[in-house]
Chain A
């Protein structure tokens, strides 16, 4: 056989195989698209966290095109639940420039996702020759322990994949070339959602599974009245969002949607009814608490890199410590708290951004809907107070210029 004929047969074979793979991929994409946007109910449970990640990516170009100066908020679930853009903007207003904020915080945020998101955000803004007004980069140092990072990856292995970018893949190719190549091929064939995730959607659809209705206040509620309030809350939420709460609601600018203001009476009543039980001291942890946490150095480095990426396209960048439930912090050894503080300071210092620590006693155990997250009503107050903390920093920064 002549060389050309041999090569033509090989080319035909490879093309046929590639066509089969792409056609199969198109079938999977089609099935995935039938669920897209998959509106997990109520949209802020970690089961479908990747739905929010994808929705954030889809919303990013629109955010970058926003005519006014933008505030981008990145972080883990603590900040995702605590940051209410409207409350923050209203409190920040009057300082000269007007800002419009967007909550891009993500449940169970993994360091690699934070870095991938930061890269894509930077690329999106640079492509438009625009800059972010303020970046608030939330960090939850306890989530950087090896065990926590491992648990987050196991819960949502495909989170970072939703923010796959050429720069991220190239960076990964330096250390794990084969994994990077597999990810690149998967992305190329199936898009930004792994087929395994589509399988989960299919399974839940087949089982007609409905996610739990979460009020953001202690669940399950204690007492008949609280249960009745939760039922009323859920009924109202379902009325507003028959297909489930969107993982990214443009009307809320990414703030998690609890159906406010229509649900405010139910939430206020739930908070009032549950306050006592939330304030009850948590049972002491079994066994001795180690003096220091086993912090994942790679995770810390990824966050530092992410802060730097964002700082490169931001007028002002702040690193924001996660708000801690005082009940959780109380039993911890001082050495551990100091270690967490050191890690936060290091990320801020090496990232080149000032550190804001909101743990100043303004929020008590009654403000938390569960062990680690503020309830929706306290979140509004947190956002206003945060704006009050940011405002003088902005003014001093402007004055310095």
Chain B
């Protein structure tokens, strides 16, 4: 069941009414039950794994908290984190491993490894790890109630594609959850509509992106750039749209999730980009991979950056393309860091310099998308060549230019929507602006929404 489907919204409306009427203690239980039911509609066979990892992590966290001896605490930490990492590695790596075994001619029992990745696993495993590590670091006291923990761990709006919210942030919110005010509810409705519009824009651009990335042979320079821009808009619209919808639903449940995007394509450097894009993942990587590595290997600053971003790449999937994607961003961040140390400046770039830096960063991000979206390394190399070595314009180039312009416009619109939803909220939430705008948006979505595409980050 998709967050943007009519059936989901209808069921959510019913749940929301019941949820608002019941006392706080029942709210938490209702959250767990509805989250598990939601997950079961999508991936019923992985419900035991999902719940099992949640309960296991909760118990390990408690044991760590009660344990006073550091070696034992460390051992429990490794067990807890290890089990989560192993589960993730198995499900993410099994299928590629089965493929590799088959390619090597080792077909003894490949069906044992050919398993699907459980939906949302990449997200809830990171949540579990952050919980165990935070308890081990003594920066967070685990909740007494399993229901409170599971309510935050399984919370359905952000379960499948984030944002990755740590237990230390979410459990306290869950424990003092209350019904929302009309102002908050109105804000949530508006944010949900923004998410729907963004997702719809992304869906519209999906065919243009696929045309470039799934092309069998070489394509013209214009078509290549159009496809890449379309993918940049699609990825942002899809992911940011999902996040807005998830945030809006959580808001209606009385839980204010942190933002996951902050106008990412206006970033002035790769470092700035990762402060604005998938913020919950980049901060997670900083706190649970990069900083621990820094403590252990203090002198290997750039190696640590590389390792962190290779982990980030592998988190997306066990493929060479994602390793290269991680390495690529690792190199970008290392170079940016080296440059900022070599030429320190306290002032934020302005004017032409800002425009140039933004354009360069956007270009570098787009090149990363080639690795991120391509079907194979060979396809990525081919597309990279198509993007930089002009060929004779093909028949479709004029249409491609129009689509490219539409993709650029879509990027601008998505940024404007996000900006408006956060910074012009008070003006836009005036009744005579908000309600007519939403009615028109519903009609436009129904008429021009395009064929619904699966959420991209569901695949991770």
Measured CB to CB, the residues of A under 8 A from B are 1, 3, 6-7, 9-14, 16-18, 20-21, 23-25, 27-28, 31, 178-179, 181-182, 185-186, 190, 195-196, 198-199, 202
Docked-complex contact B1 and A178, CB < 8 angstroms = yes
**B443: chain A residues within 8 A (beta carbon):** 24-25, 27-28, 31
Given known A10-B17, A17-B189, A198-B447, contact A182–B442 (CB-CB < 8 A): no
**B17: chain A residues within 8 A (beta carbon):** 7, 10-11, 14
Q: Does B397 contact A (CB under 8 A)?
A: no
**A28: chain B residues within 8 A (beta carbon):** 443, 446-447
- Whole-angstrom distance between the Cβ of A177 and the nearest chain B Cβ: 8
Q: Which of B252, B438, B449 contacts A20 (CB 8 A)?
A: B438
Q: Does B41 contact A (CB under 8 A)?
A: yes
**A7: chain B residues within 8 A (beta carbon):** 17, 20-21
- Whole-angstrom distance between the Cβ of B24 and the nearest chain A Cβ: 10
Q: Does B13 contact A (CB under 8 A)?
A: yes
Interface of A is mostly: helix
Q: Can you list 12 A-B contacts with CB-CB less than 8 angstroms, sorted by A residue number?
A: A6-B178, A6-B179, A9-B185, A13-B182, A13-B185, A13-B186, A16-B186, A23-B442, A24-B439, A24-B441, A25-B442, A195-B447
**B448: chain A residues within 8 A (beta carbon):** 199
Docked-complex contact A6 and B21, CB < 8 angstroms = yes
**Complex-state Cα separation, A225 to B23, whole angstroms:** 83
- Whole-angstrom distance between the Cβ of A107 and the nearest chain B Cβ: 23
Docked-complex contact B442 and A21, CB < 8 angstroms = yes
- Whole-angstrom distance between the Cβ of A333 and the nearest chain B Cβ: 35
**Complex-state Cα separation, A11 to B182, whole angstroms:** 10
Docked-complex contact A185 and B447, CB < 8 angstroms = no
**Complex-state Cα separation, A57 to B189, whole angstroms:** 37
4 closest residue pairs by CB, A with B: A24-B442, A10-B20, A6-B179, A195-B446
Q: Does B140 contact A (CB under 8 A)?
A: no
Q: Which of B7, B13, B447 contacts A31 (CB 8 A)?
A: B447
Residue of A with least CB distance to B22: A3
Q: Does B440 contact A (CB under 8 A)?
A: yes
Given known A1-B178, A13-B182, A23-B442, contact A182–B447 (CB-CB < 8 A): no
**B180: chain A residues within 8 A (beta carbon):** 9-10, 13
Given known A20-B439, A24-B446, contact A10–B16 (CB-CB < 8 A): yes
Q: Does B6 contact A (CB under 8 A)?
A: yes
Q: Does B68 contact A (CB under 8 A)?
A: no
**Complex-state Cα separation, A10 to B447, whole angstroms:** 29
**Complex-state Cα separation, A27 to B444, whole angstroms:** 9
Docked-complex contact A12 and B442, CB < 8 angstroms = no
Residue of A with least CB distance to B444: A24
Q: Does B10 contact A (CB under 8 A)?
A: yes
Size category, B interface: 35 or more
Q: Does B457 contact A (CB under 8 A)?
A: no
**A13: chain B residues within 8 A (beta carbon):** 16, 180, 182, 185-186, 188-189, 252
Docked-complex contact A12 and B7, CB < 8 angstroms = no
**A23: chain B residues within 8 A (beta carbon):** 439, 442
- In chain B, positions 171-202 with a C-beta closer than 8 Å to chain A are 178-182, 185-186, 188-189
Docked-complex contact B178 and A25, CB < 8 angstroms = no
Docked-complex contact A1 and B6, CB < 8 angstroms = no
**B182: chain A residues within 8 A (beta carbon):** 9, 12-13
Given known A21-B442, A23-B442, contact A178–B447 (CB-CB < 8 A): no
Which among A11, A20, A179 has the greatest number of chain B C-beta atoms within 10 A?
Answer: A20
Docked-complex contact A3 and B185, CB < 8 angstroms = no
- In chain B, positions 215-254 with a C-beta closer than 8 Å to chain A are 252
Q: Which of A3, A16, A178, A196 contacts B189 (CB 8 A)?
A: A16
Q: Identify 17 new A-B residue pairs, CB closer than 8 A, beyond the known A7-B20, A178-B1, A178-B41.
A: A3-B23, A9-B20, A10-B17, A10-B19, A10-B20, A13-B16, A13-B185, A16-B186, A21-B442, A28-B446, A31-B447, A181-B6, A181-B10, A185-B10, A186-B6, A196-B447, A199-B448
Given known A10-B20, A25-B442, A182-B6, contact A202–B41 (CB-CB < 8 A): no
**A179: chain B residues within 8 A (beta carbon):** 7
**Complex-state Cα separation, A14 to B189, whole angstroms:** 10
Residue of B with least CB distance to A11: B17
- Whole-angstrom distance between the Cβ of B184 and the nearest chain A Cβ: 9
**Complex-state Cα separation, A257 to B298, whole angstroms:** 84
**B41: chain A residues within 8 A (beta carbon):** 178
- Whole-angstrom distance between the Cβ of A348 and the nearest chain B Cβ: 38
**B23: chain A residues within 8 A (beta carbon):** 3
**A31: chain B residues within 8 A (beta carbon):** 443, 447
Interface string of B9-47 (1 = CB under 8 A from A): 110010011011101000000000000000001000000
Docked-complex contact B13 and A17, CB < 8 angstroms = yes
- Whole-angstrom distance between the Cβ of B328 and the nearest chain A Cβ: 39
**B108: chain A residues within 8 A (beta carbon):** none
- Whole-angstrom distance between the Cβ of A153 and the nearest chain B Cβ: 14
Q: Which of A3, A24, A185, A190 contacts B7 (CB 8 A)?
A: A185
Q: Does B460 contact A (CB under 8 A)?
A: no
Q: Does B5 contact A (CB under 8 A)?
A: yes
Docked-complex contact B439 and A12, CB < 8 angstroms = no
**A185: chain B residues within 8 A (beta carbon):** 6-7, 10
- Whole-angstrom distance between the Cβ of B30 and the nearest chain A Cβ: 13
Q: Which of A9, A12, A199 contacts B447 (CB 8 A)?
A: A199
Docked-complex contact A178 and B442, CB < 8 angstroms = no
**Complex-state Cα separation, A182 to B9, whole angstroms:** 10
**A182: chain B residues within 8 A (beta carbon):** 5-7
Q: Does B455 contact A (CB under 8 A)?
A: no
**B302: chain A residues within 8 A (beta carbon):** none
**Complex-state Cα separation, A180 to B343, whole angstroms:** 62
**B438: chain A residues within 8 A (beta carbon):** 20, 24
Q: Which of A3, A25, A190 contacts B21 (CB 8 A)?
A: A3
**B5: chain A residues within 8 A (beta carbon):** 178, 182
**Complex-state Cα separation, A7 to B438, whole angstroms:** 23
Q: Does B372 contact A (CB under 8 A)?
A: no
**A202: chain B residues within 8 A (beta carbon):** 447
Q: Does B435 contact A (CB under 8 A)?
A: yes
Docked-complex contact A1 and B13, CB < 8 angstroms = no
Residue of A with least CB distance to B181: A9
**Complex-state Cα separation, A12 to B20, whole angstroms:** 12
